[in-house]
């Protein structure tokens, strides 16, 4: 019996083959994996933003630090646990109506996804909180890009509330060939 395609392979269809090798390799992982890498965090620019990001498990601003990334992936869902500095955040990804949906506790974000030979780009469109759709003025603006850098999976995530300062931005790499450094 052939294994089912990964979440991202299902979402992207033929466009999946266009992605850089490291991005394809990362998104083809299934089962449980612990990966290492590095991350740089630009924290929230307001007191309310810092409080919200802390509650969601995101760290404050930092220089390059080790990242431990845990992935639990099946063809139906992926659970991502990011250990950044002394904090961690957990999100769950699923497909709904041919869109990628990410859950942070009671917050759900629906992404528009583009893929080509340079990488993957995602933009949060719709959002809901506790199952209630959020109006545009309350929907966070989140943009994600993924690419290959020196053979590693590289990411860049930026989140703002509409009309306000940055909630969080973080960027880094995940090394698909070496286990994480334990700290």
**pLDDT on residue 53:** 74
The answer to whether 10 touches 37, Cβ cutoff 8 Å, is: no
**pLDDT on residue 165:** 82
| CA distance to 57, 65, 173, per residue, from 179 (Å) | 23, 15, 13
In the chain (183 residues long), the average pLDDT of successive 10-residue segments reads: 82 97 96 92 78 72 83 96 84 96 93 97 93 89 95 94 79 84 48
Give all domains of the chain, ordered by start, each with its CATH number: 7-175 (2.40.128)
User: At a CB cut-off of 8 Å and minimum separation 6, what does 17 contact?
Assistant: 24
- Prediction pTM value: 0.87
CA nearest neighbour of 60 among 84, 92, 79: 84
CA nearest neighbour of 156 among 140, 174, 143: 143
**pLDDT on residue 183:** 44
For residue 16, give the DSSP letter.
Answer: G
């Amino acid at each position: 019996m052939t294994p089912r395609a990964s979440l991202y392979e299902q979402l992207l269809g033929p466009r999946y083959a266009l992605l850089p090798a490291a991005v394809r390799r990362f998104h083809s992982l299934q089962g449980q994996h612990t990966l290492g890498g590095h991350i740089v965090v630009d924290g929230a620019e307001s007191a309310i933003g810092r409080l919200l990001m802390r509650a969601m498990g995101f760290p404050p601003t930092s220089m390059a630090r080790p990242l431990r990334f845990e992935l639990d992936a099946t063809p139906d869902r992926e659970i991502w646990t990011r250990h950044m500095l002394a904090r961690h955040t957990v999100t769950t990804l699923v497909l709904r109506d041919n869109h990628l949906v990410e859950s942070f506790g009671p917050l759900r974000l629906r992404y528009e996804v583009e893929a080509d030979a340079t990488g993957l780009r995602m933009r949060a469109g719709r959002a809901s909180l506790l199952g209630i759709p959020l109006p545009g003025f309350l929907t966070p603006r989140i943009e994600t890009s993924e690419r290959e850098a020196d053979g590693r999976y590289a990411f860049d995530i930026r989140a703002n509330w509409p009309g306000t300062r940055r909630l969080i931005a973080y960027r880094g790499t995940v090394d698909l060939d070496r286990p994480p450094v334990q700290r």
